[in-house]
Chain A
Amino acid sequence: MVTKTKAEPEQASERARLDKIINKYRKQKGALIPILQEAQDSLGYLSEESLFYIAKATKRTLAQVYGVTTFFTQFRLEPIGEHLVRICHGTACHVGGAEDIDATVCGHLGLSEEGGTTDDMEFTVDKVVCVGACSLAPIMIVDGVAHGRLNADRARKVIKGYQKEK
């Protein structure tokens, strides 16, 4: 696992943020998942250090915390790019050509078909299972905004739109 460690000064503020989240759930039984969710929301991803810290603060073993983190697809152990592109691979999107959207977006960004993060940390491409907007298939979600009724051409244009922002 390659984790990017941030520079020293930031770690104190990260710890403070984690403390706040952990304290919020101190009285709730079995709140590990919401703690991990909020930690990821706040820090972008769950670094090795954060997992150690959460395990210690919630009196769990690291194995327990790591086990939960790797079981659910929502959690990430590596930092993500500026823009998060989630390409839906639900059934409706699949029969509507999601593979082509995948190939186009990944090809355009110079990524393998598996997705991942671009070297300049601008884009992360993820495959997801059904976002529940099947009538607009095929669909992808960029930074929380859904773009539906795609074809290869339109998908490329959408990505170009985010590239232009800079």
Chain B
Amino acid sequence: MSKKTRVVVGLATCGIAAGGVSVMDELRREIKKRKLNVELAETGCIGYCFAEVLVEVEKAGMPKVTYGDITTKDVPELVETHLVQRKIWREKVLLIEGRKTAEADFLKRQKRIVLRNCGLIDPESMRDYMKKGGYEGLKKALTKMAPEEVRAEVLAAGLRGRGGAGFPTGQKWDFCARAEGADKYIVCNADEGDPGAFMDRSVLEGDPHAVIEGMIIGGYAIGATHGYIYCRAEYPLAVKRLRLAIREATRKRFLGKNILGSGYSLDIIVKEGAGAFVCGEETAMMASIEGSRGMPLPRPPFPANKGIWGMPTNINNVETFANVPWIIRNGARKYAAIGTGGSKGTKVFCLTGKVRRGGLAEVAMGTTLRDVIFGVGGGIKEGRNFKAVQIGGPSGGCLPAALLDTPVDYDSLPAAGAIMGSGGMVIVDDTTCMVDLAKYFLTFTQMESCGKCIPCRVGTKRMLEVLIRICEGRGVPGDIGLLERLAYDVKDASLCALGGTAPNPVLTTLRYFKDEYKAHIFDKKCPAGLCVDLVTFHIEPDKCTGCGVCVRNCPSDSITGEKKEPHVIDIETCIRCRECLRRCRFDAVYTV
């Protein structure tokens, strides 16, 4: 008997945003119309975000094929070619199982532990998860291991916190296990607030049970009585799937009272964040869980001793928890064999920005930035030049081409001025102004500063003012020194990590791209042609078709030209509003 034909559509947030639901509907209609015997299913994020919508087809006698960039218009041809004529539709092929295709490197160069099930299982099906060995780790931990053995195993694996700071997870669990309290809390930090990072969302949407299993194992290891998952409200699909997974796990007795007859009990509640970046900080998150303004507290006391409602509390990130079931199931030794001396296992990165293959990349620790960006990511879009990679979001830094051979691990990245952070990697090309990028991050941290301590509240504001001044061409000699001084003050004197790391984007751009700052301040020029106050607008005669769209929309009547002839911008009267640049369909408008 031949295996049933299966068509799977990737329906995580990116897939849905790219039109995945309509593709799914169209497939359903087309299959019904042709009366085909096909099982239509959905899965989470496959990681090939650059080629959404993704459709996978499994048919007996043919290799499994992944199609990319599918729109509703492609559906009839896809169904006709692959399902009816039994031929591979070459035009939109991304991957063919067992064969080499242009995009195969993206997956081949990865090592998937956290993303082991993402894109392979139906995230809303517990049975799918269990078929892949799900909850085996939990069974092993609860029936064959004592809590201290679980902690020792995680410590031996060398797992470090994936939320950014990189603290050894086993050690953190030990602190909390030893603390005394009537109740103990285990919390999953799913408040992925870094702009440019979405790996936690992908795991929550693609494999929610992995996180829950990791949490139960962690809860058992420290003796937690209650669990919270603090999830961003901006991730409605993740919240929905988590709640469903918790209900299913409870029904199967993996959660609740006397789990698997071990005598251990745990409940988990999903708490939705309400939008505050600072709540990614442990003490601020606990305040928010208690229903207060999410403002950080000085440490000590550490959450392990005095956390939620004054009880011992252990907080780990989504990715950290997702590693745990794998470690318990496969053993610490196998995990510790991956990675470098001080950084074990893998790290998931989100490749975004001007990279050709943007998406989820999970690589072994110690892989170089070059391998991630050029090997997995396939280099820069539109044949442009790599300029910098921004790692670690608003707390991280920008590294230049000269540092592309830096390995990604907890020691090398800080040495270069960046941080591992949560794993956002935004790649920029020569069209991005580094001063503007630093200004962007400072705008963010300044806005998100909770205002409790003065260095962060006032310091980030003063730094931002200097950056705005430089971008607007009002920079003065001495601004660079002033920025540096302020940066170190904010870094040293802030209460929590938000302020403590906020100056990093400024410090690294100053370290590696000082020339751009100088060009803004002394020559009043923006080398990337982005800062509007420092550029002039022009029209490339070869590209201009003389359609007149820019003329009609120019608020200062600065554009002239005959119909169907190249137009000209009068730079004396131009108010640099960018409207012509936005309106031109032929890319004819450029800045100098």
Residue of A34, A132, A148, A153 contacting most chain B CB atoms (<10 Å): A132
Closest B residue by C-beta to A64: B292
A83 within 8 A of B: no
For B293, the chain A residues whose CB sits under 8 A away are: 67-68, 71
Contact B276 A136 (CB under 8 A): no
For A134, the chain B residues whose CB sits under 8 A away are: 49, 196-198, 350, 352-353, 358, 424, 426
For B579, the chain A residues whose CB sits under 8 A away are: 103, 107
0/1 interface trace, chain B 62-75, chain A, CB 8 Å (1 if under): 00000000000000
Shortest Cβ distance from residue B110 to the other chain A in the assembled complex, whole angstroms: 16
For B274, the chain A residues whose CB sits under 8 A away are: 33, 36-37, 72-75
In the complex, which residues 237-287 of chain B have their Cβ closer than 8 Å to any Cβ of chain A?
Answer: 271-277
A85 within 8 A of B: no
> In the bound complex, what is the Cα–Cα distance between A137 and B49 (angstroms)?
11
Closest A residue by C-beta to B13: A133
0/1 interface trace, chain B 560-585, chain A, CB 8 Å (1 if under): 00000000000000000111011101
0/1 interface trace, chain A 52-72, chain B, CB 8 Å (1 if under): 000000000000100110011
B233 within 8 A of A: yes
| Known A-B contacts A37-B272, A103-B578; A135 and B52 likewise in contact (beta carbons under 8 Å) | yes
B513 within 8 A of A: no
B113 within 8 A of A: no
B288 within 8 A of A: yes
For B448, the chain A residues whose CB sits under 8 A away are: 129
0/1 interface trace, chain A 64-95, chain B, CB 8 Å (1 if under): 10011001111100000000000001111011
> In the bound complex, what is the Cα–Cα distance between A34 and B352 (angstroms)?
33
> In the bound complex, what is the Cα–Cα distance between A152 and B584 (angstroms)?
10
> In the bound complex, what is the Cα–Cα distance between A3 and B577 (angstroms)?
34
A139 within 8 A of B: yes
A131 within 8 A of B: yes
| Known A-B contacts A29-B309, A30-B291, A74-B274; A91 and B234 likewise in contact (beta carbons under 8 Å) | no
Contact B290 A30 (CB under 8 A): yes
B201 within 8 A of A: yes
Closest A residue by C-beta to B49: A135
0/1 interface trace, chain A 20-62, chain B, CB 8 Å (1 if under): 0000000001111110110000000000000000000000000
For B232, the chain A residues whose CB sits under 8 A away are: 132
B194 within 8 A of A: yes
| Known A-B contacts A37-B274, A73-B275, A129-B444; A148 and B198 likewise in contact (beta carbons under 8 Å) | no
Number of interface residues of B (CB under 8 A): 62
| Known A-B contacts A91-B424, A100-B578; A135 and B276 likewise in contact (beta carbons under 8 Å) | no
For B236, the chain A residues whose CB sits under 8 A away are: 144
In the complex, which residues 184-214 of chain B have their Cβ closer than 8 Å to any Cβ of chain A?
Answer: 192-198, 201
State which of B358, B581, B585 has its C-beta within 8 Å of the C-beta of A135.
B358
| Known A-B contacts A95-B426, A95-B432; A136 and B275 likewise in contact (beta carbons under 8 Å) | no
Contact A153 B585 (CB under 8 A): yes
For A151, the chain B residues whose CB sits under 8 A away are: 582
Q: Interface stretch among B14-22, B146-154, B320-328, B538-546? A: B14-22
State which of B194, B309, B354 has its C-beta within 8 Å of the C-beta of A130.
B194
For A64, the chain B residues whose CB sits under 8 A away are: 292
For A147, the chain B residues whose CB sits under 8 A away are: 17
0/1 interface trace, chain B 10-50, chain A, CB 8 Å (1 if under): 00011011100000000000000000000000000000011
B366 within 8 A of A: no
Shortest Cβ distance from residue A107 to the other chain B in the assembled complex, whole angstroms: 8
In the complex, which residues 351-403 of chain B have their Cβ closer than 8 Å to any Cβ of chain A?
Answer: 352-354, 358-359, 390, 393
A146 within 8 A of B: yes
Residue of A72, A94, A95 contacting most chain B CB atoms (<10 Å): A95
For B195, the chain A residues whose CB sits under 8 A away are: 89-92, 94, 129-130
Shortest Cβ distance from residue B218 to the other chain A in the assembled complex, whole angstroms: 22
State which of A67, A129, A139, A148 has its C-beta within 8 Å of the C-beta of B277.
A129
| Known A-B contacts A36-B274, A37-B274; A133 and B14 likewise in contact (beta carbons under 8 Å) | yes
Q: List 21 A-B contacts (CB under 8 A).
A: A37-B274, A64-B292, A68-B291, A75-B274, A90-B196, A91-B390, A91-B424, A94-B440, A95-B426, A103-B579, A103-B582, A107-B579, A128-B234, A129-B193, A130-B194, A131-B13, A132-B198, A133-B17, A134-B198, A148-B14, A151-B582
Residue ranges of B at the interface with A (Cβ–Cβ < 8 Å): 13-14, 16-18, 49-50, 52, 192-198, 201, 232-236, 271-277, 288-295, 309, 350, 352-354, 358-359, 390, 393, 424, 426, 428, 432, 437, 440-441, 444, 448, 450, 577-579, 581-583, 585
Residue ranges of A at the interface with B (Cβ–Cβ < 8 Å): 29-34, 36-37, 64, 67-68, 71-75, 89-92, 94-96, 100, 103-104, 107, 128-137, 139, 144, 146-149, 151-153
- Per CB-CB distance, the 5 closest pairs between chain A and chain B, nearest first, are A135-B49, A146-B17, A72-B274, A30-B291, A91-B196
